[in-house]
Amino acid sequence: MGTAPTSLGELGWLFLRLGTTAFGGPAAHIAMMQDEVVARRRWLSEQEFLDLLGATNLIPGPNSTELAIHIGYARRRWSGLLIAGVAFIVPAMLITAACGWAYLRYGSVPTARWLLYGVQPVVVAVVLQAIWGLAPKAARDWKLRALGIGAVLLCALGVHELAVLFGAGAIAVLAARAWRQPAPSQPTAAPLLALLPPAAALGNAAAVTLPALFGVFLKIGSVLFGSGYVLLAFLRSDLVERLGWLSDAQLIDAVAVGQITPGPVFTTATFIGYILAGPSGALTATLGIFLPAFVFVALSGPLVPRLRESPIAAAFLDGLNVASLALMFWVTLLLGRAVLIDLPAIAICAASAIALIRYKLGSSWLMLGGAAAGWLVHAL
């Protein structure tokens, strides 16, 4: 870890900027954080960053937000944990709440096809560059490289991401024990797997209340592993089928807003809270879905550096880290296939890669440049 002290102002400004410009979902957010805190500022070593990334995959909630909170804790302990997490969430919350206001006033979500067209090719370049930088550390020997390839193949076969992550960790532990004499028996890192109990089930409510809204989103934030598509399934089960607060069309609009706005996809909750109960509903839903992330990181953050002291836990982390990169790689392949559909999109991706590798341009500026390029192509 970098030895130079980090001020709370510097920490807050970085994550405020990332929260305003980090389009593209968790893989892109993680790549941008790697660029800022490892490559540019050297606040963390590549191994420390990988260990924090692995730890976020062991707990439910929004991975990129939890990684921001972990970084804040690593640099300034409890005050940094709070500042980094809030700074990363607030810009997206405000933007998404504004979309909720526009939705209620005009009956539709803002059109942003040009924005996605320009930004998504940049996302592909940013994530691939981050994977390229982290891969030598995560896959540093032939066993871990083989494990990473196997993880990508399992993703391609549709195996659930949690099974890939925990399976890779277990295999790495078995391989480590097979290649050296067993270490004295030590407790494993079970505290990382601790989950908060879900909120009590809510009855079928005829009206939306703030406590009920908070309970729904607290439960989702406490138990949800996985991507935005998993979030969609949880939201539909509670808000459409069980409570009847939203229609399917409204839910799809809410998820679309979460996808096209910067920052955490979980700010979909902000949009839903706004259309259900106005500004107070937006704040309540946001607090409910993100509060578990702060609790989980507060519980697990102090344990992460100690895991390297245990041979078993360290081997598990090695397997988890290489599997995490494999998941990022697979998601990026799918995104690339979906967005690199014509010559302008391929050109934006290639130009972004050159700017990243050759000129070391910051990923936040590239995101803004991609948005401008998308607007230009759309206008022409």
Q: What's the CA gap between 258 and 25, in Å, rounded?
A: 9
CA-CA distances (angstroms) from residue 12 to 90, 184, 210? 11, 43, 29
Coil vs helix vs strand at 360: coil
Which residue has 């729904």 as its token pair?
Answer: 216
Distance of alpha carbon 310 from alpha carbon 224, whole angstroms: 29
Which regions in the chain score pLDDT beneath 70?
A: 1-4, 24, 107-113, 115-116, 162, 179-206, 225-230, 232-233, 256, 259, 363-364
Could you tell me the CA-to-CA distances from 185 to 153, 182, 188, 270 in Å, in that order? 33, 8, 9, 47
At 91, the amino acid letter reads: P
Helices (H), the chain: 8-21, 26-34, 46-56, 63-106, 113-138, 142-156, 161-178, 210-223, 228-235, 248-260, 268-300, 304-307, 311-339, 343-357, 363-379
Q: What is the pLDDT of residue 197?
A: 35
In contact, 15 and 87? CB cutoff 8 Å: yes
pTM: 0.68
Residue 24 confidence (pLDDT): 66
Alpha carbons 377 and 128: distance in angstroms, whole number: 24
pLDDT of residue 185: 41
Q: What angle do CA 326, 330, 333 make, to 5 degrees?
A: 140
CA distance 230 to 158: 14
CA 170, 175, 177, 178 dihedral sign is positive
pLDDT in the model for residue 199 = 35
Query: What is the C-alpha radius of gyration for the chain, rounded to an integer number of angstroms?
Result: 21
